[in-house]
Structure 1
Amino acid sequence: MKIVELGRTGEQISQLALGCMIMGTVTPEDEAVAILDRYVEAGGNVLDTADCYAWWEERGSYGGHSEELIGRWLARTGRREEVFLTTKGSAVPRDLDAVWPGGRPDWEIAYRTFVGAGATTLREAIDGSLRRLGTDHVDLYYVHVDDRTTPLEETLEALAGIVQAGKARYIGWSNVRTWRMERIRQLCAQHGWPAPVALQQQHSYLRRRAGHRHVSIVDDEQLDYLRAHDDLTLVAYSPILKGIYDDPEKRRGHGAMEPYLGPDADARLAAIVEVAAEVGVTPNTLVLAWLMHQNSPAIVPLIGPRTLQQFEAALPALDVKLTDEQFTRLDTAGA
């Protein structure tokens, strides 16, 4: 497992991070524990969770399943000092009845009614997360969904207090526009508050289609911003887009493909399939390897396997070797 620096903090983290979103709900505890054990054995140390994971899998719940499971695993194994523990706040629904009008939650309502990143909300959220995780601090604390209704000064001052109190060592942001990130950084510099060291966004080999508006998917402007600010590490969630690279049938009509559909995606899919065959790995595996080969900006892919088998399928990406020609072919593919 390759080790990289988090921003310019000096912190050494594994380049492949483990997303724990569905642990304790979709992934039962015994299998989740097996994945956690195997990940650490393979040299990984970044565990990513959130206070809201996974409220949408259990009607009447506000989440916390993933944090509680990780807390039990940490207590049993004593591995707290071996992992770089990250969690998030701000994306818990205010009113569960409103977001569950039927058999499944209404995500449009949920996004409009998250608790947000007010000072009191964040202070209470971090305390709840620490209690569930069974630790006195996390290594990185994210604002999960950018909250434009709360003044940034209020959010940032609260986060500074959380860091000063020793409840989080660093802060990060997720699902945010580039202009907002620049404003956040300016305010941190102005007031002497700790600035974000990680930006967690959806990022993969495919590029979102022209004209598609999506706050959470990295675009060219955001990549350019990250190249110019290497103190901010890109943590790429959904790197293999629900596994669609391996299966043409799965891609047809899959929601993960919708933001990418078009000639550019067709050309890049053809390239990834071709090079994967040359290298002797699956397209999903090659996408992870391609992301880890990036250095401008450096990228930490965040995988979220549902099963131990899916986790094991990701590990060969750590050993993929690409020639300069193959790397160029992948980089330049597109319409």
Structure 2
Amino acid sequence: MRTVQLGRTGEQVSQLALGCMIMGTVTPEDEAVTMLDRYAEAGGTFLDTADCYAWWERRGSHGGESEELIGRWLARSGRRDQMFLATKGSAVVRDLDAVWAGGRPDWDVAYRTFVGAGAKTLREAIDGSLRRLGTDHVDLYYVHVDDRATPLEETLEALAGIVQAGKARYIGWSNVRTWRLERIRQLCAQHGWPAPVALQQQHSYLRRRAGLRHASIVDDEQLDYLETHDDLTLVAYSPILKGIYDDPGKRRGHGAMDPYQGPDSEARLAVVAEVAAEVGVTPNALVLAWLMYQSSPAIVPLIGPRTLQQYEAALPALDVKLTDEQLSRLDAADA
């Protein structure tokens, strides 16, 4: 498995990261452990989780199942020193009773009741994550959801303390607007606090539809920002958009497709299908390969397989060879 430098840290991480969000809930432990074993055996090192994963899969859960499973796997496998371990804080839900009041998770209520990125919250959250993971530090600690209700100075000073205490080596941010990211970086430079080295956003081959307002999906401005700030690496979550590239039927009415609907996506989907057929892989695998071919900015696709079969289906992306002509065709495709 190839590696890419994380920002300018000198740290080499796997160019394909393994998202562990539903391990321990949707994905049974034995299957999750097999996935983790196979990822490590293939040379994979970059594991991603969060303290809130995955409360929405079981009423009464506060999250933490994913971290606990990873902790058990690390203890059993003895691979902690081989793994680059990332987790996140700030998106635990404060009022779960209100979220489940209708019998199913109400995400509008959840988004309004995140615990946020206050100093006390983050200090307690990292300690909880470390306890569940069974380790004394994580390699990367993200603010999971940008918190505009808390002064950035408070959040950044707390993160600096977490790094100084040796509980996290680097920090990152997720689900954040570009202007906020620039303000974060300015404050870090002003106060000598550690600045983010990773930005985790939703990013894929399809481009979000014109006029969409969305803090979590990369847009042209954010791509331009990342191209000129190579101390930040883009970690792309939902890179294959729930697998819609392989399944035309799934694209019709699927929530993952909604931000991308339109003629531009239709044109790009057609080219993905053509090039995938030429190189002999699925469209999903081709999209992962295309993301790993990007260098400005460098991109780490973050896969989140639900099953071992889905994990295995992603691996051919590691061996895809694309010609300059194919890359140009993919890059140029539009309506």
Tell me the TM-score range normalised by the shorter chain: over 0.9
Query: Amino acid of the residue matched to residue 312 of structure 1?
Result: E
> Equivalences for 1:113-128 in 2 at 5 Å?
113-128=113-128
Query: Amino acid of the residue matched to residue 124 of structure 2?
Result: E
1:332 aligned to 2:326? no
Alpha-carbon separation, structure 2, partners of 1:240 and 1:104: 26
Residue matched to 2:182: 182
Alpha-carbon separation, structure 2, partners of 1:124 and 1:210: 40
Shift of residue 102, structure 1, vs aligned partner: 1.9
Residue matched to 1:3: 3
> Equivalences for 1:24-39 in 2 at 5 Å?
24-39=24-39
Residue matched to 1:233: 233
> Equivalences for 1:29-68 in 2 at 5 Å?
29-68=29-68
Alpha-carbon separation, structure 1, partners of 2:287 and 2:258: 18
Shift of residue 60, structure 1, vs aligned partner: 1.2
Residue matched to 1:307: 307
Residue matched to 2:200: 200
Alpha-carbon separation, structure 1, partners of 2:74 and 2:326: 41
Match of 2:256, SS state, is helix
> Equivalences for 1:260-279 in 2 at 5 Å?
260-279=260-279
Match of 1:255, SS state, is coil
Match of 2:199, SS state, is strand
Shift of residue 103, structure 1, vs aligned partner: 2.2
Query: Amino acid of the residue matched to residue 33 of structure 1?
Result: V
Deviations 1:89-133 (A, max 9, x none): 000010110111122100001001100000000000000000000
Alpha-carbon separation, structure 2, partners of 1:270 and 1:32: 34
- What percent identity do the matched residue pairs reach? 87
Residue matched to 1:96: 96
Alpha-carbon separation, structure 1, partners of 2:67 and 2:103: 25
Query: Amino acid of the residue matched to residue 265 of structure 2?
Result: A
Query: Amino acid of the residue matched to residue 85 of structure 1?
Result: L
CA RMSD of aligned residues (A): 0.4
Alpha-carbon separation, structure 2, partners of 1:225 and 1:325: 26
TM-score (normalised: structure 1)? 1.00
Residue matched to 2:287: 287
Residue matched to 2:243: 243
Unaligned 5+ runs, structure 2: none
1:161 aligned to 2:150? no
Residue matched to 2:19: 19
Query: Amino acid of the residue matched to residue 230 of structure 2?
Result: D
Alpha-carbon separation, structure 2, partners of 1:238 and 1:46: 16
TM-score (normalised: structure 2)? 1.00
> Equivalences for 1:247-258 in 2 at 5 Å?
247-258=247-258
Query: Amino acid of the residue matched to residue 152 of structure 1?
Result: L
Alpha-carbon separation, structure 2, partners of 1:153 and 1:277: 51
Shift of residue 61, structure 1, vs aligned partner: 1.1
Residue matched to 2:108: 108
Deviations 1:51-86 (A, max 9, x none): 000000111111000000000000101100000000
Alpha-carbon separation, structure 1, partners of 2:288 and 2:120: 38
Alpha-carbon separation, structure 2, partners of 1:67 and 1:206: 31
Alpha-carbon separation, structure 2, partners of 1:326 and 1:22: 34
Deviations 1:216-257 (A, max 9, x none): 000000000000000000000000000000010011000000
Query: Amino acid of the residue matched to residue 286 of structure 1?
Result: L
Alpha-carbon separation, structure 2, partners of 1:223 and 1:187: 22
In the alignment of these two chains, the number of paired residues is 335
